[in-house]
Amino acid sequence: MDGIHDLGGKQGFGKVRHSPAAQAFHAPWEKRANALYSLAVKSGIFNMDEYRHAIERMEPRHYLSAGYYERTLTSLATLLVEKGIVTREELERRAQGTFPLASASAPGRTNLPERMRFAMGDEVMVRQDHVPGHCRMPAYVRGKRGVIVGESPAYPFPDAHAHGVPADDEPTYDVRFSTAELWPNSADTAFVHVGVFQSYLIGVT
């Protein structure tokens, strides 16, 4: 899905703030939210792709104003409600007020039936896919050409795995893109490497 979460290549947000000395947690509740989410995944209540998709489904203004662990908590609470483990009323009674959840999910899709295998040095193009559900293809590489420079171990196809749809394992390819391809007339000449799932790619002859 195209959403506010997909900020790669976007302008207007300023520099990425980064500090090597930054603490992982800033309040006790953040540790609890992280622990509960980790326990839910370990217990098989939901998987990582469901977790990511619930964050993507947050209302855009809430997403942009929320910190990392507030997004974690929103995803966790949304999935627990959707799976019938708690109710929104229970959450709001404990919170003593409104408890914002993510919006409803759209349908997922299975792996591409006829997937291509690629070798190092192959030129590829990212498919022009627009899907309503979860997708791990960054929008800024959609329709762009690059070169295969690596391959990572197979993993369940996230477009299916986030929706409870049968998901075959498939590799991600490390694709090298030029900045001139991604952003014509860009200020810096460089290469950008993106891990792209097999179902998102087609060969270029």
pLDDT per position as a tens digit, 115-161: 999 999 999 999 999 999 999 999 999 999 999 999 999 999 999 99
Helix, strand, or coil (residue 197): strand
Spell out the domain ranges in the chain: 1-99, 123-203
In sign, the C-alpha dihedral spanning 144, 146, 148, 149 is negative
- CATH class of residue range 1-99: mainly alpha
Q: Is the pLDDT of residue 19 over 90?
A: no
Give the DSSP H/E element, type plus range, for residue 56: helix 48-56
Mean pLDDT over all residues of the chain? 95
Helix, strand, coil percent content, the chain, rounded in steps of 5: 35, 20, 50
- Per residue in 43-74, pLDDT tens? 999 999 999 999 999 999 999 999 999 999 99
- Fold (CATH) for 123-203: SH3 type barrels. (2.30.30)
